[in-house]
Amino acid sequence: MRIVGVRQPHIGSGVEVASLAERGDEVTVIAPLGDFWADPAGYLSKPPTGPTLATASVEQVPPVLPEARVICIGLNYSQHAAEGSYRDQELPPYPTLFARWTQSLTVDGAEVPVPSNEEGLDWEGEVVAWVGAPLVDASPEEALAAVIGYSTFNDLTSRRAQKLTSQWILGKNGDRSGPLGPMVPATEVGDLRDGLRLRTRVNGETMQDGSTDQLIYPVGETLSHISHTLTLRPGDLLATGTPSGVGYARKPPRLLQPGDTVEVEVERLGTLRSAVVGNHCRSEVVSALSADRS
């Protein structure tokens, strides 16, 4: 099962959660977004009962609550840490965490603009874990059991903005810079510690090739750590970090340019494709926001 968010523009509906057919040409509505995240395990335990619609007739959007938190782990694969901030240094005992806003997220196939003051965008293929139950002071085992599903993710990064200060939020929140694949239920994925192969390709050339069994800070332990400070709620997301092979660490550095296509493929989760476009396409984001408010 692959879970996506959809809007039906012709009837002016809000975001609904739907199951995407294997061929990708149809979706079957499961529930309105808020209803789904009030009981995600319940909805995933039974076949969807809503209407089946042609994919071409709906707008696909992330099935993400507006109030959801998107928490990201930085430097969570040892080889990536070595090519970046922790070359010849001991890894810290706790993960580096930063935040994305839900407005930065987009879907498979969407165009991602390069900001005007960037020389390009950097790729970071990742896996996202979706929280499916409230977590307060949870143990690692309780936290992992609360994960309802996983998605392929690309943490596309504006490196110049990221490196201006010690805080990464600006460089990690460019318009449409967080492409997110369909959610696959955790029961169909298994434990990331068993190792899912993750590959990132640019115009067909493999740039990253790693496995989730290389994670330094596992999902359960990280969610447990977070839950001792803030309450995690159904619909919150954890981006688990990227393996080595990012563009800025290459010699010479390489960044995504308008016209490039970047793909992130994760075993059992599928392939996420994004087209990189020029900064002029940011005006489409403004137009879309204006349309949503009208």
Could you report the per-residue pLDDT of 230-267, keeping only the tens digit for each? 999 999 999 999 999 999 999 999 999 999 999 999 99
CA–CA separation, 137 and 133 (whole Å): 13
Record the tokens describing residue 276, joined without a space: 């990189």
Q: Rounded mean pLDDT of 11-31?
A: 94
Q: Rounded mean pLDDT of 179-206?
A: 97
CATH 3.90.850.10 in the chain is located at 70-293
Name the pLDDT band for 131 (thresholds 50, 70, 90).
very high
Q: Rounded mean pLDDT of 29-45?
A: 98
Please give the pLDDT value at position 294.
43
* Phi then psi dihedrals of residue 290, to 5 deg: -65, -40
- pLDDT of 293 above 60: no
* Domain topology for 70-293: Fumarylacetoacetate hydrolase; domain 2 (3.90.850)
How many residues are there in the chain? Answer: 294
Q: What is the DSSP secondary structure assignment for residue 283, as one 8-state letter? A: H
- pLDDT of 180 above 90: yes
Predicted structure pTM score: 0.93
Please give the pLDDT value at position 211.
96
